[in-house]
Amino acid sequence: MTISASHSPDGVNCAAAEASLEFGRFRVVPRRRLLLAGGLPIELGTRAFELLLALLEADGALVTKGELLARVWPDVVVGQENLKVQVFALRNALGEDRDFIRTEHGRGYRFAAAVRSNVTRSTSQRPMPLRYWSTRRLFPQQSDRRVPHGWSMRIEQPRFCVHAKTTRSGEIR
């Protein structure tokens, strides 16, 4: 799947006119969910893109593994291996600039590059904090989905063990 940047009728790249974040040779257009390198779109999956947004919004601060799991996989229980796979995919997309994502062993990840915002606003507009650029829903939908075929949900019931000896006649001692 290739994502193409849209162009206006006069040939100007619309992504450049929108609010975006820039670091190194990259530009991220959150509203269009685009990652551009030198003006060319980079293919990036939904989870990896959400991971990138979370790291960019942290502005160089440590983002714990738990925070990333909650952000990228809301309402889904996944292991840390899923997070590692998405970090790997994101680093591959960044190519030679893969070191922009730093691993804090046992704690989480940090985005190490300087991030610039190209948001232009009039004096009547209030600045929009980066944390609101997420694509995550404010009010998550409740789901009545069934467990996928092949999975099982087993709810453990508490067990009460009574150790008693019985006689041959069935009496409990």
Q: What is the CATH number of the domain that holds 108?
A: 1.10.10.10
> Cα Rg for the chain, rounded, in angstroms?
24
In a domain, 96, yes or no: yes
In a domain, 28, yes or no: yes
pTM: 0.60
pLDDT score of 41 more than 80: yes
Note the pLDDT tens digit of each residue in 46-84.
999 999 999 999 988 999 999 999 999 998 888 899 999
Note the pLDDT tens digit of each residue in 81-106.
999 999 999 999 999 999 999 999 98
pLDDT score of 28 more than 70: yes
Q: What's residue 17's pLDDT? A: 57
Q: What's residue 151's pLDDT? A: 57
Q: How many domains does the chain have?
A: 1
pLDDT score of 38 more than 70: yes
In a domain, 141, yes or no: no
In a domain, 142, yes or no: no
What does the alpha-carbon distance between residue 89 and residue 85 come to, in Å, rounded to a whole number? 6
What does the alpha-carbon distance between residue 39 and residue 97 come to, in Å, rounded to a whole number? 16
In a domain, 157, yes or no: no
In a domain, 172, yes or no: no
Higher pLDDT, 166 or 27: 27
Average pLDDT over residues 135-155: 52
- The answer for 168, left when phi > 0, alpha when psi is -120 to 50, beta otherwise, is alpha
In a domain, 110, yes or no: yes
User: Count of CB atoms within 10 A of residue 108's CB?
Assistant: 20
Higher pLDDT, 49 or 4: 49
The parent domain of residue 44 ranges over: 14-121
Q: Give all strands (DSSP E) within 53-173, no chain letters.
A: 63-64, 101-104, 108-111, 116-117
Q: What's residue 145's pLDDT? A: 52
Q: Of 11, 8, 35, 10, which is closest to residue 24 (Cα–Cα)?
A: 35
pLDDT score of 35 more than 60: yes
In a domain, 129, yes or no: no
pLDDT score of 153 more than 50: yes
Q: What's residue 126's pLDDT? A: 54
pLDDT score of 6 more than 90: no
Average pLDDT over residues 128-155: 51
Name the β-bridge partners of 166: 172
